[in-house]
Amino acid sequence: MAAAIEGGAAERAGARILDGVELAEAIRERLAPRVEAFAGVAGRPPTLGLLLAGDDPGSEIYVRNKIRQSDALGIATDLRRLPATAPFRDALAIVEEFNAADAVDGILVQSPLPPGMGADAEARIFDAISPAKDVDGFSPVSAGRLVQNRTGLVPCTPAGVMALLDHAGIEISGRRAVVIGRSDIVGKPMALLLLHRHATVTICHSRTADLPRVAAAADILVAAIGRPALVTRDFVKPGATVIDVGINTLTERQQVVAIFGPGSRKLAAFERRGRVLAGDVHPDAAEVAGAITPVPGGVGPLTIAQLLSNTVRAAEERRRAGAG
């Protein structure tokens, strides 16, 4: 599989590899006729408004990928840029313009916002996004609907994980699930989605006592803490499904060797590029797990696929409600 070529946990494949690339392509194929149908009725394509503030290199890549995949599917994009020195009010003005625009169906504000906008800038900007256009699922209204298991737009990465579990035929109901990470973007909504599917869920974080022991009780283990190779085989129950949400960039050769080994494909890639990606899950976890996601090629492609799905859904629902 292409997803396994890059290395990582998949390189020692004892576990079944859960390929997000293949599923993301299937999601886009299912969306294509809906995009065409919407454009035929509305006289315009579904449209995503994006705000990119500052010059974070990772954000540039993420936004470029989102625009490229939107264009390929026939979703229009309206990208607005702000310099790192821009005040918060400029970002808020763009969001309010998107809110008021009938031809904009979804709004995405790329994180992180520049530090100069204030420590609470992201919370304030998410507060301002119309819930009907909140394709990231980060607004308080979207979060509240998720807590109550009501219909709404769900954060893209957790939604992608659920799609992958379903596609792989992983049983959720009645299983023990552990989510390592408590962010509002991934950890908390991930735990809620699993709970709504009748899993027994434990949320872990940096202060969880005896984290390996708690994690090793899980039938489904989701790592979303942002620490490369934190989750070793000691964290994994034999046969468990391990979902690696982490995307960490390694720029030191010593760290690559320590995690992946001196003869690994990851090290060979590092020698060519000077950097490689690593997940939150150590390669040795694949020797114990029953199924595991690679990095890259696992959860990442599904995040954008779910963003596209949310944008199409928002456009359809706004059209049915008489907007746009």
Closest CA to 243 of 132, 314, 141, 158: 158
Among the options 19, 69, 105, 110, which is catalytic? 110
Taking alpha carbons only, the member of 26, 35, 21, 24 closest to residue 313 is 35
213 CB-near residues (< 8 Å, 6+ apart) = none
CA–CA separation, 201 and 198 (whole Å): 9
Both tokens assigned to 193: 């989605």
Which residue among 105, 134, 136, 219 is the active-site one?
A: 136
Determine which helix (DSSP H) or strand (DSSP E) holds 50, and give its type and residue range.
strand 47-53
Catalytic annotation on 19?
A: no
Least Cα distance to 220 among 193, 184, 182 occurs for 193
Element (H, E) at 164: helix 156-167
User: Is 237 one of the catalytic residues?
Assistant: no
Side-by-side strand order, sheet with 106-109:
76-82, 47-53, 106-109
Question: Is residue 136 among the annotated active site residues?
Answer: yes
Alpha carbons 79 and 74: distance in angstroms, whole number: 15
Tokens 């090793």 identify what position?
Answer: 216
Decide: helix, strand or coil at residue 220: strand
What is the C-alpha R_g of the chain? 20
Q: Which residues are catalytic?
A: 66, 110, 136
